[in-house]
Structure 1
Amino acid sequence: MTTVTSPLTGRAIGLAAVPDPVFSGAMVGPGTAVDPIREPTDAVAPVDGIVVSLHPHAFVIVDAEGHGVLTHLGIDTVQLNGEGFELLAAKGDTVRRGDPVVRWNPAAVEEAGKSPISPVVALEATADSLTDLADEGDVAPGKTLFNWV
């Protein structure tokens, strides 16, 4: 089983509340989302594993069980071309849960006209493979968002 913890401080809101049909419709995969606090912050690794994909606005970490977890920092933030995002890890790095991966400012993302709501998705998973899904309430790095069995 993989326990996926929050990469951010904020409020868990559930994928259905994400203002993007690709995520809210779970087309990328099941999971939940975090509405982050509006201050500069580090997005941290939600699992132990290897950074297999890294962009300023999103990253994927694959754990020892082969489970890939996508953290997508905001909605349509790819359009910011990396502005306001600082990479703290590199593709291929081995990270531990809680290690900083990307530094960003959700308030600046919002000021740029984008939503800072951040989906955390279990890639190539089925909805029934996730348990203990946090879809509302306050979260902080290290707090469980869901378990992947």
Structure 2
Amino acid sequence: MLKKWFGKKEINRTLTLKAPLTGKLVALEEVPDPVFSEKMMGDGIAIEPSENVVVSPVDGEIIQVFPTKHAVGIKADNGLEILIHVGLETVSMNGEGFESHVQEGSKVKTGDPLLTVNFELVKEKAKSTVTPIILTNADQIETLNKIENNAVQKGVTGVIEVTVI
């Protein structure tokens, strides 16, 4: 009885990542960059965005906001680590066209705004607007199921169901 009150909080090991962007779902293997398509950083999905706001796909904590604001790392409440890399070769934009709404250590809920991105500028200055969402701590993943969708809505549509060890 006391353990129930004072013991370690039970963590749900399984969660469903929601789409961090509104747009069209793209298989990671189809991303025109081998670092992502060959899953060198981990498995995941990608989205071709149709809106400019990137939201949190999970409840968790921001563990990294790149200085160029083109990527954000999140640690979900169950320990899953997620990298949202906005566009391809966007690091060279040095933050131009990106506005961050979070900082390292920020607590976020699913659907909370992370970034606002000028995708018209990304189209001009970078290789692509396609945005990979990568699960970076593969050694902690027990099961990973990608949910079949074509069009996805940020903060609403489930894209990956993951169980961690």
Q: Deviations over 1:58-95 (max 9, x none)?
A: 00110121101111100110111000000111110000
Distance 2:148 2:92 in 1: 27
Structure 1 letter corresponding to 2:98: F
- How many residues align structurally? 146
Q: Does 1:52 align with 2:66?
A: no
Alpha-carbon contact 1:57-1:78 (below 8 Å) kept: yes
**Matching residue of 1:13:** 26
TM-score, normalised to structure 2's length?
0.83
Report the Cα distance in structure 1 between the residues aligned to 2:93 and 2:20, rounded to whole angstroms.
21
In structure 2, the residue matched to 1:129 is 143
Alpha-carbon distance in 1 for matches of 2:84, 2:147: 15
Name the residue aligned to 2:49: 36
Equivalent position of 2:114 in the other structure: 101
Q: Which whole-Å CA distance do the structure 2 matches of 1:128 and 1:17 have between them?
A: 24
Please give the secondary structure, in 2, of the residue aligned with 1:107: helix
Q: Give the structure 2 partner of residue 72 of structure 1.
A: 85
**Structure with bigger RCO (C-alpha 8 Å, 6+ apart):** 1
**Runs of 4+ in structure 1 displaced over 6 angstroms?**
none
Match of 2:103 in 1: 90
Q: 1:110 to 1:35 in 2, by over 3 A?
A: same
Shift of 1:114: 2.2
CA contact (8 A) 2:90 2:126 kept: no
Change (3 A) 1:125 1:135: farther
Aligned-CA RMSD value: 1.5
Mapped contact 1:14–1:136 kept (Cα < 8 A): no
1-structure distance, mates of 2:117, 2:64: 17
Quote how far apart the aligned CAs of 1:128 are: 7.0
Structure 2: gaps of 5 or more residues: 1-13
Aligned residues: percent identity? Answer: 36
The structure with the larger Rg is: 2
Hey, what's the Cα distance between the residues in 2 that align with 1:113 and 1:66? Answer: 32
Could you tell me which residue of structure 2 aligns to residue 111 of structure 1?
124
